[in-house]
Structure 1
Amino acid sequence: MTTRSSGAPTPFLSSVMQIEPQWIDYNGHLNMAYYNVMFDRAIDELWLLLGIGPAYKKARNNSTFTAECHVRYLREIHLGDPVQISVYLLAADEKRLHTFEELRHARDGWLSATSENMTMHVDMEKRKTAPFPPDIRTTIDAVASAHALLPRPEGVGRAIGMPAK
């Protein structure tokens, strides 16, 4: 999580990413699978700050698994477009993290895609969900509390369905 110069919370911002040439499909834009790659890379950056990255897995034999994901594709991204992802930690409990990500053009700021996710904390020995350790939960709760002060991003909780007639 970052803060504005005023001290107000902001969503977590990933590093700026570049589109790789092999990710462009025959339609000349970013293939849908690679949006998920970039969303996942942004989450990995946030997980490092929360203390639940690769070192956590190695030291405590716990990790996270994505249980559900909903991606919306809103505007095409092309080769050469720099992108940056904002991540909102919408909610957390003893075993779950609810996140919402916005993939934006890093230079021009327009929104290309969103991804809403439910992530589960997993004991890797048992391969079952497990509570976060108290020290990790403290960090997660601090970020979730700060992000609760932010305006809720447009698109949270959207469901797929045909328009009503």
Structure 2
Amino acid sequence: MPEGELYRSAPIAMEKEWIDYNGHLNMAYYNVVFDRGGDEFLAELGFGPTYAAQRRLTIYTAEVHICYVQEIHLDHLVTVTSQLIDFDGKRLHTYNEIIHVDGWVAATSEVLSLHVDMNGPKVVPFPEDVLPKLAFYRDAHAKLGIPARVGKSIGIRRK
């Protein structure tokens, strides 16, 4: 990843079973798209299938906030961009966008993830050897600024 750029997943095509009776991507499948793209980013950070198999450590999602911005249809091709906002000893805070190949944002997803020992399962600290890569991505992505949707709350605004 060049300095100051978001991580971008491989292209993801929509599947017919994902399209609902309204003719667009069912809301549940936005999560599938985010999961596929997000898994690529986690692997880039060092938390892929090999990490889980060899160390019996993995990443679990604790909380997610999705904003649906524009409809996705069956013939659409998208990628997922990922930004590491922050991390501490046991948690990752990431922000992702589903981007249509034409460049528009279809949805955003803010995620809080936990580092988990699968033998418990229980939340455990990151091993020392993965911290430099996390710090590299956090620092590189910090140069991009915090996206406007990060930290957005949900509710009905009253005057």
Structure 2 length-normalised TM:
0.97
Tell me the equivalent position of 1:86.
81
Structure 1 unaligned regions, length at least 5 = none
Q: 1:72 aligns with which of 67, 76, 85?
A: 67
Distance 1:113 1:160 in 2: 15
Distance 1:27 1:144 in 2: 39
Q: 2:53 aligns with which of 48, 51, 58?
A: 58
Distance 2:143 2:123 in 1: 28
Kindly indicate whether residue 114 of structure 2 is the aligned counterpart of residue 99 of structure 1.
no
Q: How does 1:1-165 map to 2 (within 5 A)?
A: 2-3=1-2, 8-106=3-101, 108-165=102-159
Residue 151 of structure 1, CA deviation: 2.3
Give aligned pairs, total: 159
User: 1:10 is paired with a residue of what secondary structure?
Assistant: coil
One-letter code of the match for 1:95?
K
Residue 51 of structure 1, CA deviation: 1.2
Structure 1 length-normalised TM:
0.93
CA distances 1:26-84 after superposition (whole Å, capped 9, x unpaired): 00000001100010111110111111111101100101100000000011010111101
Structure 2 unaligned regions, length at least 5 = none
Q: Let me know the Cα RMSD of the aligned residues.
A: 0.9
- Contact 2:60/2:113, CA 8 A, preserved across alignment: yes
Moved over 6 A (4+): none
Distance 1:46 1:21 in 2: 25
Distance 1:163 1:104 in 2: 28
Residue 154 of structure 1, CA deviation: 2.0
Distance 1:46 1:25 in 2: 28
Distance 1:49 1:132 in 2: 15
- Identity among equivalent pairs (%): 46
